Amino acid sequence: MSVGGVDLNLLITLRALLEEENVTHAGSRLGLSQPSMSIALGRLRRHYKDELLVRNGRGYCLTPLARALLPSVTESLRLVDGAFGRTETFVPGKSDQVFRLLLSDYAVTVLIDPLLRRVREEAPMAGLKLSPIPADMQENDRGLRDHDLLIGPLGFAFPGESEVLFRDRWVCIVDPANSRLRDGWLSLDDIDALPHAAAFLGHSGLNPADRVLDELGVRRRVQVKVAGLLPLPFVVAGTDLVAIVPERLARRVASMAGVLVVEPPFGQVDLIEAVWWHPARSADPALSWLRGVLKDTAAGLAPVLSFPLMGNSQRVAVVTGDPGLLAVPVDVTDAGSAAAMRDQVLRHWGRMGRPDELAELVSWLASERCSFSTGATFDLSGGRAVY
């Protein structure tokens, strides 16, 4: 089939070449021999008056024109499929697709548990394959073409389209016996004097907290460097080290690691987590669904909880939560649905929550007896955590 003298079958070949960046791999994908693919590439080069694929060491890479073509080629093929009644659809409840995600250990720690629960609820047969963010992620978009989504912080020049998921902030962690602690606080002089444990994140660039410390003239003396943020609390425990980590991660593992979460003396510094995807996949219905699930999951995360008030003399604890189904009288229009929900709660959690339990927890949180607890997670009903 041709339009204006151009063979439309070359669109399929072009997409395979652009996505694989390799003649042999593109041929295997389409069931064509390497000579046939080379002939097709030659025709495409003559049409565009561009090499499209060029040698890069032992492999190939796309020319700027080829990289710019990929989204429009993908969208064109999608429209052609739609014109012939082959519009791609995605039904979460029937899909067994395995989604490939690139993300940091921090994102795994704070996001994957609630994300898995949401995916199981909406797409029980679907799966997730989690991989670390490659060190060369900023250099090209190969990682995004080989994976469905990337979850990582803004500010590191990752390629592709992106959308903000949630915010966190940077805090300090130390061993409770650290000699520089004064009434649970550290000063900028302490941050300057103490040896640091820091994370090697695999991609270049300073994190926002590093940049603020540089602006304040504080030079961190890094004594221990680890891969990722998650090991830092366990490295700091029992030592005179200090580390700067996102608050949600710190609160999640502080008790387990035996470290103290300390207000940062350098003020509020945000960490903004976002989701990235390849522009050619923007219209993919499965990825659109997963991005929506990610946004809903992130919106349900507990807010960053602790912050100082009135100098160093007062602190505030803020706790949000969903206690689940409470045993209270209600008027419902669909008694069957209410009964089904009650049966599910009893089957999974043993009993329904009681209003007096919720009231007692809230009363305790508002009392002086809770003054030591900031940003904690409390289990209200014997198995269902309140975030």
Among candidate residues 268, 267, 260, the one with its CA nearest the CA of residue 184: 260
Alpha helix stretches (DSSP H) within 96-178: 105-107, 113-122, 142-146
Q: What is the dihedral of CA 134, 136, 137, 140, to 10 degrees?
A: -140
Distance from C-alpha of 330 to C-alpha of 143, rounded to nearest angstrom: 51
- What is the secondary structure of 238-249 as a DSSP string? TSS-EEEEEHHH
Which pLDDT score is estimated for 190? 94
Domains annotated for the chain, with CATH where assigned, are: 2-83 (1.10.10.10), 92-165+273-299 (3.40.190.10), 167-272 (3.40.190.10), 317-386 (no CATH)
Compute φ and ψ for 158, nearest 5 degrees: -70, 150
| Diameter over CA atoms, the chain | 80
**How many CA atoms does the CB half-sphere of 189 hold within 13 Å?**
3
Distance from C-alpha of 304 to C-alpha of 158, rounded to nearest angstrom: 25
Which pLDDT score is estimated for 340? 61
Contact 155, 136 (CB under 8 A): no
Q: Does the predicted model carry a pTM greater than 0.85?
A: no
Compute φ and ψ for 58, nearest 5 degrees: -95, 0
Per-residue pLDDT of the chain (387 residues), as tens digits, is 444 556 667 888 888 888 778 888 888 878 888 888 888 888 888 888 888 888 887 778 888 888 888 777 877 776 776 666 555 677 899 888 999 999 999 999 999 999 999 999 999 999 999 999 887 777 666 777 788 999 998 887 788 889 999 999 999 999 999 999 998 899 999 999 999 999 887 655 567 788 888 888 888 899 999 989 999 999 999 999 999 999 999 999 999 999 999 999 998 889 999 999 988 788 788 999 999 999 999 998 877 754 443 344 444 455 444 455 555 555 444 555 556 655 655 555 566 667 777 777 777 776 766 655 555 556 554 444 443
Burial class from Cβ neighbours inside 10 Å (0-12, 13-18, 19+) for residue 367 reads exposed
Distance from C-alpha of 62 to C-alpha of 369, rounded to nearest angstrom: 63
Burial class from Cβ neighbours inside 10 Å (0-12, 13-18, 19+) for residue 29 reads middle
